[in-house]
Amino acid sequence: MSPQSRISLQQACNQALDEAMAADESVILLGEDIGDREGGGTFKVTSGLSTKYGTSRVRTTPISEQAIVGSAVGAAIAGLRPVAEIMLMNFVTVAMDQLVNHAAKLRFMSGGQTHVPLTVRTATGAGGGFGGQHSDMLEAWLAHVPGLTVVVPSSPAEAKGLLLSCVFDDDPCVFVENNQMYWDKGPAPEPGLRIPLRKAHVARAGTDVSVITYGRPVGQVLALAEQLAGDGISVEVVDLRTVSPLDSRTVLESVAKTRRAVIVHEAVGQFGVGAEVSARIGEELGGELHSPVIRVTSANTPVPFSPTLEKAYLYQIGDVETAIRKVAS
Amino acid sequence: MTDEAGLLGIYRTAVRINRADEKLRGLLTSGELAVSYYSPRGQEVVAAGMMSRLRAEDYLVTTYRGIHDQIAKGIPLEPLFAELFGRVDGTCKGKGGPMHVTQPETGVMVTTGVVGSGLPIAVGLGLAAQVRGQDRVTVVCFGDGASNIGAFHEALNMAALWRLPVVFLCQNNRYAESTRYSDGTTVERIAQRAASYGIPGVTVDGNNAGEMAEAASQAVARARAGEGPTLLEAMTYRFMGHYFGDAGAYMDADEFVAAQAADPVPALRKELLRAGISTEEELTALENEEQAAVDSAAAFAKASALPGVDELRRDVYREEVVA
Ligand SMILES: Cc1ncc(C[n+]2csc(CCOP(=O)(O)OP(=O)(O)O)c2C)c(N)n1
Ligand SMILES: [Mg+2]
C-alpha cells in the first residue's frame, strides 16, 4: 500500500476485521444484517466478510441485542474472540445487562479464572438528522464501569489500528464509530498496524494550551490549532483514543506543561468524560493552573431533529476557539 | 432407562447437595456465615439427575439458587464452601461469593445473580462449541420466573435458529420470589413456549430421579448429535422460601405440606431400597461419607484465610488496576 493511499473510516474498520479474521480463526462476527446476503451491514462495515470467511464465522443474527452481546460473552469465555456489531449506540442500552453485569465483571468475579475477549462495535453521531434515538454518544455510561475498555477513534487510520487492538485484547472493549465520519477519507495506515489501548496520544505538540479530546472533534481541533499557531497560540492536542480506563498520566503531563486545559467532546456535558478529565486535572494540578478548565460539549438536551436545532445542539468548534483564547489570555 | 448405578449415583449427589445445604443453613442460623443464601432444598434431584448425564468438559451456567447445580456438576465442596465464606481458597478467591461461583475446570462457567441473563451466555458457549466442531453440551439452569424475561426468548430463538447444543433447564419450583407461578405466567407449562421456537419442549417430574435422568439424557443426546436445543421443564418445589430467612408466608399451605410429604431425597432412598438396588447399610454408609465430606469442607472454609486487599485491583483487567 502506498503511503499516500487514503481510506474511509468504513473501509478502515472493514480492513481491520478482515485482517483480524485472516490472522486468527477464533475471531467471529455477530450482528444484525452483517452478512453479504443482507448487504454487509447497515454501514457496510462487514461487507465481503461472510463471503470470504463463511456464515459460520460471520453470523447475521435476529434482532436480539441481549442475545447478540450475551452470546458473544459466552463465546468469549469459551475462548473465541467475538466481535459483535450493535447497529447504533442507542441500542446498546438494550444490552446493558450483558455489558455491565457480565462482560465487565466476569474476570473479576471469577477471580481471574475466566475472561471476556469481546469487542462490541457500534455506530452513532449527531448531525445526520436521525433524531433522538439514533444519535447519542453514550460512552460515559460505559466508561463508568470498571472492567470495560471504551475506545472512540478519531480518524480512519486510528480506527483501524485501535480496532485491531480491541479484537486481540483479552478484555471486553466497546468501539464507537462515528457514523458521520464513515465516508470521509484519511491517510491509510501500514497494514497490520495496531495502536495500543488505554494510552492517550499527543496528536500535536504545543506549549500554551492543552486541548483534551477524542473521536470526531480531534480532526477539527487539529485544524484549529494550526490556525491559532498563526496567532501565536501554541496548542497541544491530546487524543484520548481510549476513554476508559483513562490514561491520566498523558493528560496530566500535558497540562502540567501548559497549565491550561480545554476539554472537547461530542457527548453531552453533564456527568460526561469531560467532567472526569476535569476532575483529575483539578485533583492533581489544581493549584498550578493558570486558568480554570473549560469544557466544550454538546448541549444537555436530547438530540433534536430539525437541522437548525441539531446544529445548535452539537459542540461548536467556534466555542473551542473562544475557550482556547480565553484560557490563553 | 437409568440403570441401577445411575440411580445410586444420583442419590449420592442428591445427598451431598442436601447435606451441604443443611450445613450452610446451620451456619447461617448460628451466625458463623452471613451471606444472602437461596436454598435449593427440594430441588436436589433435578440437579443430580441432569448433571449425571453430562461430561466434565460440558458447560454449565446457573443462578444465585445454584449450589445444587454446582455440586452436581462436580465442584468439590471445599473450594465451594470457601467461596461462600469469601475466603482465598474459594473457587474465585472469595471475589465472586455465593452468587457468582465459577470453576471452569468442572465446566461451571458462569453463575449469575441477574434473572434470565445466563441464557444468552449459554447460547454463546454453545456457539463456541459449534464453531469449533466440538461435541460439548451446555446446560443452563433458570427458574420459572426467568422464563418471563426478554433474554429467555432471545436466547431460545437464537439457539433454535442455529441448532446449538444447549439444554435449557427450567427448574419450575412454582414461585418467583413471592409471586405464584399462575400470577406471573398464563401458559400452563413453561415447556409450551418451546413451540414458539420450533424446538422440543418437555415437562417432567424433576423430583423423580428416573424420569428426570431420562429426559436429561434425551436432551443431552440431541444436543450432542447436533440436532439443537431442548427446553426441559423440571417440575419441583422450593422448600425453604426464596431466601434464607424468608418464612414463605405467601405460599399455599396445602401445596407446601404435600410437597414436603413427597420430599424427593427420601423418596429416592425408598426407591433404591424397594428396587433392591441398595441395602439400608450401604445407604447409611453413603450418607455418613457425604456428611463427613460436608463437615470437613465447612471446617476447611472456616480455616481458610481472607484474601489480601491487593486482590481488589487484580482481575479487573488483565493488567492490575493502578491506584
Ligand atoms: C433482572 C432481575 N430482576 C429481578 C431480580 C430479583 N429476583 C431475584 S430472584 C427473583 C425470582 C426469580 O424466580 P425464578 O426465576 O422462578 O427462580 P427461583 O428463585 O425460583 O429459583 C427475582 C425477581 C433479579 N435478580 N434480576
Ligand atoms: Mg421459581
Which of B63, B131, B166, B306 has the most A C-beta neighbours within 10 Å, making it the best mutation to test the interface with A? B131
How far apart CA B274 and CA A192 sit, in angstroms, is 69
How far apart CA B45 and CA B245 sit, in angstroms, is 23
B91 touches chain A (CB under 8 A): yes
Tens of pLDDT, residues A73-90? 999 999 999 999 999 999
- Residue A220 — very low, low, confident or very high, per pLDDT cuts 50/70/90? very high
E-assigned strand segments in A235-321: 235-239, 242-244, 261-268, 294-298
Contact A70 B314 (CB under 8 A): no
The distance from CA B30 to its chain's CA centroid, rounded to whole angstroms, is: 25
| Nearest beta carbon to residue B123 from set A74, A113, A147 | A74
Q: Which atom of ligand 1 is nearest to the CA of B114?
A: 26
Comparing CA positions, the residue from A211, A215, A207, A162 lying closest to residue A189 is A162
Q: Which residue of A has its CA nearest to B317?
A: A147
| Ligand showing the shortest atom-to-Cα distance for residue B65 | 1
Instruction: For residue A12, give the 3-state DSSP assignment.
Output: helix
Give the DSSP H or E segment for A106. Answer: helix A106-109
The answer, yes or no, to whether residue B323 has pLDDT greater than 90, is no
Instruction: From residue A85, give the alpha-carbon distance in Å to each of A13, A52, A89, A197, B261.
Output: 12, 18, 10, 19, 52
B120 touches chain A (CB under 8 A): yes
For residue A194, being part of any structural domain is answered with no
Q: What is the per-residue pLDDT for B5?
A: 75
**Percentage with pLDDT > 70 across chain A:** 99
Contact B122 A74 (CB under 8 A): yes
The answer, yes or no, to whether residue A257 has pLDDT greater than 70, is yes
Based on the domain organization, do A223 and A111 belong to the same domain? no
Q: Chain B 222-261, CB below 8 Å of chain A: which residues? A: none
For chain A, how many residues are written? 329
Q: What is the per-residue pLDDT for B322?
A: 78
For residue A168, being part of any structural domain is answered with yes
For residue A1, being part of any structural domain is answered with no
Based on the domain organization, do A179 and A207 belong to the same domain? no
Contact B93 A69 (CB under 8 A): no
DSSP letters spanning A117-137: --EEEEEE-SSSS--TTS---
B94 touches chain A (CB under 8 A): yes
Q: Which atom of ligand 1 is nearest to the CA of B65?
A: 21
Q: Which residues contact A209 (CB under 8 A, 6 or more apart)?
A: A233, A234, A235, A236, A258, A260, A261, A262, A324, A327, A328
Q: Chain B 280-319, CB below 8 Å of chain A: which residues? A: 314-318
Based on the domain organization, do A217 and A158 belong to the same domain? no
Q: Which residues contact A300 (CB under 8 A, 6 or more apart)?
A: A268, A269, A270
Distance from CA of B93 to the nearest CA of A (A): 6
**Which residues have CB under 6 Å of ligand 1?**
B 65, 113-115, 142-146, 173, 175-177, 238, 242
Comparing CA positions, the residue from B193, B197, B132, B106 lying closest to residue B159 is B197
Based on the domain organization, do A14 and A146 belong to the same domain? yes
Average pLDDT (B203-229) is: 98
Based on the domain organization, do A68 and A213 belong to the same domain? no
Domains along chain B with CATH numbers: 4-313 (3.40.50.970)
Comparing CA positions, the residue from B27, B195, B63, B198 lying closest to residue B139 is B63
| Nearest beta carbon to residue B154 from set A64, A107, A170 | A64
Q: Chain B 155-194, CB below 8 Å of chain A: which residues? A: 155, 157-158, 161-162
CATH number of the CATH domain containing A178: 3.40.50.970
Instruction: From residue B113, give the alpha-carbon distance in Å to each of A109, A268, B110, B237.
Output: 12, 32, 10, 20
Distance from CA of A82 to the nearest CA of B (A): 10
ipTM of the complex: 0.98
Residue with cell 438536551: A301
- Residue B4 — very low, low, confident or very high, per pLDDT cuts 50/70/90? confident
- Residue A144 — very low, low, confident or very high, per pLDDT cuts 50/70/90? very high
Residue nearest to atom 8 of ligand 1 (CA): B115
Contact A107 B317 (CB under 8 A): yes
Q: What is the per-residue pLDDT for B1?
A: 55
Domains in chain A: how many in total?
2
Residue nearest to atom 3 of ligand 1 (CA): B115
Q: What is the per-residue pLDDT for A210?
A: 98
| Ligand showing the shortest atom-to-Cα distance for residue B172 | 2
Contact A115 B318 (CB under 8 A): yes
**Cβ density class B158-169: b for 16+ within 10 Å, e for less:** bbbbbbbbbbbb
Sign of dihedral through CA atoms A301, A306, A309, A312?
positive
Give the angle subtended at the CA of B294 by the CAs of B291 and B298, to the nearest 5°: 140
Q: What is the pTM assigned to this prediction?
A: 0.98
How far apart CA A70 and CA A72 sit, in angstroms, is 5
A79 touches chain B (CB under 8 A): yes
How far apart CA A222 and CA B220 sit, in angstroms, is 59
Residue with cell 423440571: B234
Of A135, A162, A187, the residue that ends a domain is A187
**Percentage with pLDDT > 90 across chain A:** 98
Q: Which atom of ligand 1 is nearest to the CA of B38?
A: 19
Q: What is the per-residue pLDDT for A175?
A: 99
- Residue A256 — very low, low, confident or very high, per pLDDT cuts 50/70/90? very high
For residue A127, being part of any structural domain is answered with yes
Q: Which residues contact A174 (CB under 8 A, 6 or more apart)?
A: A92, A99, A119, A120, A122, A139, A142, A148, A149, A150, A151
For residue A35, being part of any structural domain is answered with yes
Based on the domain organization, do A150 and A20 belong to the same domain? yes
Q: Which atom of ligand 1 is nearest to the CA of B147?
A: 15
Based on the domain organization, do A205 and A178 belong to the same domain? no
**Percentage with pLDDT > 90 across chain B:** 97
The answer, yes or no, to whether residue A245 has pLDDT greater than 70, is yes
B103 touches chain A (CB under 8 A): yes
Based on the domain organization, do A214 and A151 belong to the same domain? no
The answer, yes or no, to whether residue B293 has pLDDT greater than 60, is yes
Q: Which atom of ligand 1 is nearest to the CA of B142?
A: 15
How far apart CA B85 and CA B32 sit, in angstroms, is 9
CA B177 to ligand 1 center in whole angstroms: 6
Based on the domain organization, do A241 and A316 belong to the same domain? yes
A271 touches chain B (CB under 8 A): no
Based on the domain organization, do A247 and A276 belong to the same domain? yes
Comparing CA positions, the residue from A214, A203, A200 lying closest to residue A273 is A214
Instruction: From residue A93, give the alpha-carbon distance in Å to each of A30, A79, A89, A98, B298.
Output: 17, 26, 8, 10, 42
Based on the domain organization, do A166 and A275 belong to the same domain? no
For chain B, how many residues are written? 323
The distance from CA B107 to its chain's CA centroid, rounded to whole angstroms, is: 13
Tens of pLDDT, residues A191-219? 989 999 999 999 999 999 999 999 999 99
Q: Residue type at B125?
A: L
Q: Which DSSP state fits B148?
A: G
Give the angle subtended at the CA of A197 by the CAs of A194 and A198, to the nearest 5°: 160
End-to-end Cα spacing for chain A: 45
| Dihedral (Cα; A73, A77, A79, A82), 10-degree rounding | 10
Chain B residues inside the 8 Å CB shell of A109: 92, 95-97, 100, 102
Active centre residues of A (catalytic)? 134
For residue A24, being part of any structural domain is answered with yes
How far apart CA B259 and CA B316 sit, in angstroms, is 44
Instruction: From residue B241, give the alpha-carbon distance in Å to each of A299, B36, B47, B246, B247.
Output: 50, 13, 18, 5, 6
CATH number of the CATH domain containing A280: 3.40.50.920
Establish whether the linkage from the previous residue to A146 is cis, with ω within 30° of 0. no
Distance from CA of B316 to the nearest CA of A (A): 5
Partner residues linked to A124 by β-bridges: A178
B221 backbone φψ class: left, alpha, beta (φ>0; ψ -120 to 50): alpha
Give the angle subtended at the CA of B256 by the CAs of B178 and B185, to the nearest 5°: 45
Q: Residue type at A178?
A: N
| Nearest beta carbon to residue B316 from set A64, A77, A147 | A147
Tens of pLDDT, residues B71-103? 999 999 999 999 999 999 999 999 999 999 999
CA B218 to ligand 2 center in whole angstroms: 24
- For chain B, give the mean pLDDT: 97
The answer, yes or no, to whether residue A241 has pLDDT greater than 60, is yes
Based on the domain organization, do A11 and A159 belong to the same domain? yes
The answer, yes or no, to whether residue A4 has pLDDT greater than 80, is no
- For chain A, give the mean pLDDT: 97
For residue A232, being part of any structural domain is answered with yes
For residue A17, being part of any structural domain is answered with yes
CA B181 to ligand 2 center in whole angstroms: 8
Grid cell listed for A143? 466508561
Contact A71 B100 (CB under 8 A): no
- Domain around A269: 201-328
Q: What is the per-residue pLDDT for A289?
A: 98
Q: What is the per-residue pLDDT for B3?
A: 78
